Amino acid sequence: MKRIEAFYSGRVHGVGFRAATQSLARGFDVVGTVCNVPDGRVHVVAEGAQQELEDFLQAIAESDLAGYIKERSVQWSEPRGDVKGFKIIHEGY
């Protein structure tokens, strides 16, 4: 099991990025969250098997969201086990 924290920048607010990411996550054995960051980025946290996480990130990159993404950064770490399901966080980044 691994954990990723990914930040996406570009035109990622107000285009359905969070909802689309949540929908894509349902196709993988991952749990996590997605939220808008005040600086204009989107923050994705996900935990699961490394291959599932890699495939999830690839699915985002190959989805309709790709046209909105200018840059992506990903940090890998050990899982915390503090999330269940895959949720959109609407406030409180």
Per-residue pLDDT tens over the stretch 52-69 = 999 999 999 999 999 999
Reply yes or no on whether 72 is catalytic: no
Q: Could you tell me the pLDDT band of residue 7, with boundaries at 50, 70 and 90?
A: very high
- CB within 8 Å of 14: residues ≥ 6 apart: none
Residue 93 maps to a domain: no
pTM of the complete model: 0.95
Kindly report the CATH number assigned to the domain that includes residue 51.
Answer: 3.30.70.100
Reply yes or no on whether 36 is catalytic: yes
52: containing domain: 2-88
- Which of 54, 12, 18, 56 has the alpha carbon at shortest distance from 35? 18
Residue 75 maps to a domain: yes
Give me the catalytic one of 3, 36, 41, 80.
36
Per-residue pLDDT tens over the stretch 64-87 = 999 999 999 999 999 999 999 999
Give me the catalytic one of 11, 18, 26, 72.
18
Per-residue pLDDT tens over the stretch 15-50 = 999 999 999 999 999 999 999 999 999 999 999 999
Residue 44 maps to a domain: yes
